[in-house]
């Protein structure tokens, strides 16, 4: 039996000039439906304190299958709409998995070894 590992996603979304308020309003529509999605542990929308055009959308999920299933929902279509309608200047999307301290140290050591070797 495989152990399910918590996973997360983060999307840094930059608005086009003059469109940040619209971007924030449209992204805020994701909050409640995403929080009620199966396997969602947390879902947040944040606005940069330093850059008025930068937004962060993040979600934490019980396991990879839950996050993947969420990505297939109609709610995720908002990102495609924002890009097509030229509301978004850039979209930087990443997914992450939880690792133990030992795994992180092992991964760091191998990365350092590769960089030095």
The per-residue pLDDT for 37 is: 95
Topology of 7-116 in CATH?
Answer: Alpha-Beta Plaits (3.30.70)
pLDDT tens readout for residues 80-95 = 899 899 999 999 999 9
- The ranges assigned to domains in the chain are 7-116
Compute how many other C-beta atoms are within 10 angstroms of the C-beta atom of residue 67: 22
Its sign, for the CA torsion 61, 67, 73, 78, is positive
Among candidate residues 19, 3, 34, 2, the one with its CA nearest the CA of residue 11: 34
Q: How much is the CA Rg of the chain, to the nearest whole Å?
A: 17
Identity of the highest mean pLDDT range in 51-60, 68-77, 88-97, 105-114: 51-60
Query: Mean pLDDT across the stretch 30-51?
Result: 96
The DSSP result for 50-66, as a single string, is S-TTEEEEEEEESSHHH
| Region for 18 from its dihedrals, namely left if φ exceeds 0, alpha if ψ lies in -120 to 50, beta otherwise | left
The per-residue pLDDT for 70 is: 94
Which residues does residue 95 pair with via DSSP β-bridges, in sequence order?
9
Question: Of 1-15, 35-49, 52-66, where does mean pLDDT reach its minimum?
Answer: 1-15
Q: How much is the pTM?
A: 0.82
């Amino acid at each position: 039996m495989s152990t399910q590992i918590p996973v997360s996603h983060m999307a840094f979304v930059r608005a086009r000039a003059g469109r940040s308020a619209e971007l924030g309003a449209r992204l805020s529509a994701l909050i409640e439906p995403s929080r009620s999605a199966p396997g969602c542990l947390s879902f947040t929308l944040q606005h940069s304190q330093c850059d008025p055009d930068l937004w962060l959308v993040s979600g934490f999920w019980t396991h990879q299958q839950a996050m993947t299933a969420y990505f297939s929902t109609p709610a995720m279509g908002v990102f495609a709409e924002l890009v097509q309608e030229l509301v978004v200047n850039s979209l930087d999307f990443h997914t992450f998995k939880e690792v133990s301290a030992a795994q992180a140290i092992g991964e760091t050591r191998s990365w350092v070894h590769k960089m030095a070797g």
